[in-house]
Amino acid sequence: MTPSSTTDGPDRIPGQRAAVIWGVIATILVVVSTIGVFLVAPEDADQGIIQRIFYFHVAIAIASLVAFAVACVAGIIYLRTRSVRWDDVGEASIRIGLLFSVLVVITGSIWAKASWGTWWVWSDPRLVTYLIVVLIYAAYFVLRSSAEDDRKMRYSAIYAIAGFASVPLSFYSVRVAESFVHPVVFTSGGANMPGTMLWWFVVSQVAMIALFIALLEVDLLGRRSERALRRLAMRLESA
């Protein structure tokens, strides 16, 4: 090891600072939005306390779509540049997006139990769509684990693109000629809720997207340090 790297701490992994900054931002926003949602936002006259799950349910859903969009774009860039970095971004995004969509299904199911009395409602298009989305992206990891190296990254990139193409299809397919039992909050005419609720919704939405970015940065940092560690081990072995 060279003396310069010991004084400067061990080789600094790029992105460490970004991970810390986003981690702090996400933590603050999540705490603020949780407090706001439970203590400040007005209680829904119709649904009572359970309506507060909406702030998380919808915010996580949109954040997961953002994650899948990021993975799709990363896939396109990977296919053009063949740079491992973009494969990392794609996989990390899908991992977080999948986690978020599982949470969407769980929170949706809890909400369904509270307002319709059953854990699962097949006639609710959005809940069903998310189940399909979870299945689509769970398959991504099956594909990834069964291919090697360059092929693995290529196939993952293609599947991330094709998967993101099937997301809107799933959304529409369960909606054609569906009865809408789902509370439709956002219509093309604008948001269907009072101002303070909208405000807290925006806060929790921003919090969830910040959480996504923070998790992404931490995940990428983990990968980078792992690679750096492996390089170091190789260097030690050859020395």
Partner 1 sequence: MALVRKDLRLELRTRETIVAMVLFAIVMLAILQFGFGTRDDDLTRFVGGLMWVTLAFTAVLGVGRSYVAEREQRVLDGLLVAPVPRTVMLTAKAIAIFLYMTVVEIVVIPLVGIFFVKGPYWDAIGWIAIAAVLANICIALSGTLFSGLALFTRARDLILPVLFLPALVPVVIAGAGATHAVAGGPHDMSEWRGYCLFLLAYAILFALVSVATYDAVFDD
Closest CA to 97 of 109, 85, 89: 89
Number of residues that bind partner 1 (CB under 8 A): 29
Spatial contact of 136 and 166, defined as CB atoms under 8 Å apart: yes
- Indicate the residue among 50 and 84 with the shorter CB distance to partner 1: 84
Least distance (Å) between residue 233 CB and partner 1: 27
Compose the 71-90 pattern: x for residues touching partner 1 by CB under 8 A, - for all others. --------x-----------
Distance from first CA to last CA of the chain, Å, rounded?
11
Q: Report the nearest approach of partner 1 to the CB of residue 95 (Å).
A: 17
Closest CA to 55 of 101, 102, 99, 104: 104
Residue 36 contacts by C-beta under 8 Å, 6 or more apart in sequence? 200, 203, 204
3-state secondary structure of 174: coil
Least separation in angstroms between residue 103's CB and partner 1 is 19
Candidates 12-20, 101-109, 150-158, 205-213 — which segment interacts with partner 1 by CB under 8 A?
150-158
Task: Give yes or no for residue 173 binding partner 1 (CB under 8 A).
Answer: yes
Work out which of 13, 70, 161, 203 binds partner 1, going by CB under 8 A: 161
Q: Taking the alpha carbons of 151, 155, 156, 157 in that order, is the dihedral positive or negative?
A: positive
Shorter beta-carbon distance to partner 1: residue 116 or 155: 155
Q: Rounded to whole angstroms, how far apart are CA atoms 156 and 26?
A: 28
Provide, rounded to whole angstroms, the least separation between the CB of residue 157 and partner 1. 7
Among residues 112, 125, 93, the alpha carbon closest in space to that of 217 is found at 93
Residues that bind partner 1 (CB under 8 A): 79, 132, 135-136, 139, 142-143, 146-147, 150-151, 154-155, 157-159, 161-163, 165-166, 168-170, 172-174, 176-177
